[in-house]
Every structure is written in C-alpha cells, then in structure tokens.
Structure 1
Amino acid sequence: MKAEVFVSRSLNEIQFWSRIMKEHSFFLRLGFRAEDTQLIQEANYFYNLFEKIEHRSHGFQANEDPAVIQRFNTEVHTAASHIWAFKRRILGLILTCQLPGQTNFPLLVDHTSREANYFRNRLAELNQGKLEPLADAIIDENVFFLRIMADHAKFIGHLLDPSERKLVDQAREFTHDFDQLLFQAQDLDSMRPQSETQPLLTQFLDQNRISVKALKDFKQTARNLIEQCKIKSIIHPLLADHVFREAERFLEIIDMFEGALTHPNQPFHIQH
C-alpha cells in the first residue's frame, strides 16, 4: 500500500469511527439507570477518550509520516478494543438480567460492539498493509453494512411512538428489505466470485445503492422532523443524525467500490 493511501485511509477511518464510538458512549449512558454509577463513569471515560482521538485525528496532514500514523493507529486500536470489551460486558449484564429497568436494547448494544470490532479490525489491517482482493472486500463490506442498516430500521421502528403508524410501517418495510438484501449478500458470500470485473458485483452494488439511498432519505426526513419536534418518538436528535451519517458512509463505500470496478488498477479508498 502506498504511503499516501495508508495515511489517507487511516485518518479517514479514525475521523469517522472515533466520532461514532464517542456517540455510542453517550447513547449507552442515556440508557443506564441512575444507580449504575460505575457504568456511567466508564461511558463518560470512553466519550472523553474518543473525543480526544477524534480531535487529534484532524491535526494530522495528508503528507504525514506513515510511521507516526502507524503508531496512532495502534493507540486507537487499543481504545477500540477496550470499548468493544465494555460493550460486550454490558450486553452480558443485560442478557443475564443484571440491569433490570435499563433501556438499551440488547441488539443495540450488540450492534455497537460489532461496529467497534469492525473499527479495530480495519486499523489492524491497515497497519499490516493488508488489502483484500476487491471482490472479497465488496462482499465483506456489504454484508457488514447491510446488517447495520437492517438494525437501524428495527431500532427506528421500536423507538417511534406507536401512534406514528405510517412511519412505523415504513420502518418495518425497510427492515424487511434490508433483511432480504443481507440474506442475498450472505448467499453471494458463500459463492465468493473471484473475478473483480464480474457484472454480478456491479449489479449487487447497484441494487444495494438504491435501497440504501431510500433508507438514507427516510432517515434524513425522520431526523429533520425530530429536530423540529414534528413527530412523536423517544429518538434522541443525535441518534437520528448518527444513523443518517452511517447510511451516508455506506453510500460512499459503494461509490468507492464502483469506481474500483471501473478502474481496477487504481487503489480503492474513500476520499476525504
């Protein structure tokens, strides 16, 4: 991997995902009970930790020494590993009924832990100079993000007030659509096409793009209505923006892969 690509991809991943990790800490804290003082303190610790990481990541230049970025990646990988362990511990407490009355869905906690694991794995791969073959990367990224989008639709449906029947029905439709897309992606995963120029991969990305764009627009509308206090829900405005940004991220990744399929000899990475 060329030095400039390594630096660009590393900073892009950290700038995006450190903000996501920071916000996860905030959302988890909101769901804890007042007596969960230790968990609240830990959530605050991770919020501050990833806020500092996010701020530092914007201080590096595109021509930064790769050795400096490699050390930064290692440091952030450790932080991502720790918040992953924190989230898995919370999930264990919830599943064993040791936090009765807290309001974090088990699936939401699992969802946030999967994103932390994705983040730390991406940093490890970058530091090791690993780049999957394009076809494998397309399938793996889509399997991951399609599940994330399906989860989002489920959360939105459950956090809207039941009286918001039209929006609840739309969320259910998106849940079904993305569950089906995930199943299709998992089927493709088991087949593992090796050719990076197969029309199958282009069709796969085109199909996903249409659905992700529709979900992104739905999230954007919901976010705006929540900010304007025009719908009834228990969705925090920051959570509405959070899931919208993750849909945007997925569309950027689809764009990256489509560009790579068109120009297979160029390195593929998300542009700043």
Structure 2
Amino acid sequence: MANEFVARSLDEVRFWSRIMKEHSLFLKLGFRCEDTQLINEANQFYSVFESIENRANAFTVETDPHTIVRFNEEVHNAASHIWVFKRKVLGLILRCQLPGANNFPLLVDHVSREANYFRNRLTELNTGRLEPLPDAIIDENVFFLRIMADHAKFISHLLDPSERKLVDQANNFSHDFDQLLFQARDLESMRPQSQTTPLLDQFLDQNRVSVKALRDFKKTARDLIDACRVKSIIHPLLADHVFREAERFLHIIDMFETSLTGRPVSTLHSMFED
C-alpha cells in the first residue's frame, strides 16, 4: 500500500505540475506587454512548478512515503497559490480591467478548475480518503468531459476562420462533448440508483469512443501546427498540452473499466509507470 501511495502521488504530481507550468506560460503569453506584474507572477509560477516537476521526476516508488506526504503538502500549497492567481486574473478580465489581453475568460476558468482538481487529488492521496469507485467514475467523467468540451471550443476559436473544415470539426466535437457532459450530469443526479455496473460500463464505453476521436483530432491538429500546415494562433505547446490531457482521460477511463468489470482493456496504459 505504501508503494501504491507513492506511485499514485508521483504520477499525479508529474503530470499536473507540468500542466500547471504550461498554464503559467499560456497565461503570460495572453497578457499585454504593460501587465508586467502579472507577467512576473506567471514567470514565478512557471519556475515553481518546473522545480516541482524536476523533483517529482527524481523520486522513485521506493521513496519513503513520509517524504512524499510532505512533498504533496508542499505541492498542494503551490497549487492553491496558482489557483488564487488564476481566479484573480479571471476577475480582472470579467471586470474589463485587462482590455486587449488575449486570455479568454473561459480559458482562465478552465485552468483554475484544473488547479483545484490537482490540489483535491493531493488531499485525497494524503488523507487516504479516495472516493468509492462508482462515485469516482461519475465525478472524474463529469470533470474531464467538461475539460474536453472546453478544449474543442478553444481550438475552434484559435484556428484561423479560413480553416473552415477544421473549425467545423472542432465545433462538432464541442457539441458532442456538451451532450456527453449533460448525460454525465444526469447520471450524477440519479445516483446512487444510477450506479449499477451495466450503466457505468456503458457510460465509460460511450465516453471512450468520443474521447478517442477527439484525441486523434488533437493529434492531427498538433502535427499540422508543428509542420506549419494550418493557419492558427495556437501555440505548438498548447496543441500538445490538450492532446496529453485527452490521453490522460483515456487512461483513466481504461483503468475504471478494468476496476469495474475485472476485464483488461486492450488499450490500457498504466498511469503509474516510473
């Protein structure tokens, strides 16, 4: 159990610290040149999470669990601070105090939700109070389906309007994931009666199909952007960033499927590899 705690903690921190680091960069790129204080704060958060990422990569599953508990507490503190920063930025945008800046309000809200998710995961790990499987399946899917729906909207709005075919594809994904999110919230409001194995199994299967399709679309978009074959204002790192989050969601769905049914999933990839 101690090794599992260490492995799960390091997996979460390695993945999400990189995400938080990249959020700092994306927010900085969206600020105006005169927003020097916000730019400096973003740079500081970039350094903080880069350091956390490097330290997490230096630990192994053999690391003393007490060391990881203390590390998780430190990372939780950093995640809480970047959450506060993101909410501050959102407030400035919504009060029209950053006219001309290029961070969408929904994007800032989106990255703050991810920071909150990260710190909640660290709390769950340190306290050992993980959700029962049926609750975790619904809650994780509600969270990630909204993330995927947001990604589709961001891609649509950051592609050049002349990329009509890709914009249409992104809009179709946005609609698809909005519908999946509504279905997930219906299942959520029907619990605990809705938490039967057949319903949850179908829920995971249906979501997997759509997430795979979106993952493949993101990979294509990333490769086109890297090769300068598509017109957009999407940073290449952002294209890879959203691709990695879709991959993460697929891994989680596959792990839930295995835990729920006991059947191995052919596409299963361990989230806890060293």
Q: With structure 2 as the length reference, what TM-score do the two structures score? A: 0.95
| 1:242 partner letter | H
**CA shift at 1:216, angstroms?**
0.3
**CA shift at 1:5, angstroms?**
1.3
Question: Is 1:243–2:216 an aligned residue pair?
Answer: no
| 2:55 partner letter | R
Quick check: 1:197–1:261 contact (8 Å CA) kept in 2? no
Distance 1:101 1:166 in 2: 28
Corresponding residue for residue 13 of structure 1: 12
Corresponding residue for residue 271 of structure 1: 272
Question: Is 1:215–2:211 an aligned residue pair?
Answer: no
Corresponding residue for residue 34 of structure 1: 33
**CA shift at 1:43, angstroms?**
0.2
**CA shift at 1:89, angstroms?**
0.1
Change (3 A) 1:195 1:104: closer
| 1:184 partner letter | Q
Quick check: 1:157–1:172 contact (8 Å CA) kept in 2? yes
Task: Please show how residues 76-87 of structure 1 align to structure 2 within 5 Å.
Answer: 76-87=75-86
Quick check: 1:77–1:123 contact (8 Å CA) kept in 2? yes
| 2:21 partner letter | K
Aligned residues: 267
Distance 2:59 2:230 in 1: 41
Q: Any stretches of 5+ residues in structure 1 without a counterpart?
A: none
Q: With structure 1 as the length reference, what TM-score do the two structures score? A: 0.96
Question: Is 1:49–2:48 an aligned residue pair?
Answer: yes
**CA root-mean-square deviation:** 1.3
Distance 2:175 2:47 in 1: 37
Quick check: 2:187–2:194 contact (8 Å CA) kept in 1? no
Which consecutive segments of 4 or more residues in structure 1 shift more than 3 A?
A: 193-197
Corresponding residue for residue 173 of structure 2: 174
**CA shift at 1:197, angstroms?**
5.6
Distance 2:196 2:180 in 1: 21
Change (3 A) 1:120 1:162: same
Question: Is 1:24–2:23 an aligned residue pair?
Answer: yes
Corresponding residue for residue 114 of structure 2: 115
Distance 2:64 2:112 in 1: 31
Q: Deviations over 1:92-134 (max 9, x none)?
A: 0000000000000000000000000000000011101111110
| 1:158 partner letter | H
Q: Judge which range, 197-206 or 167-176, deviates more.
A: 197-206
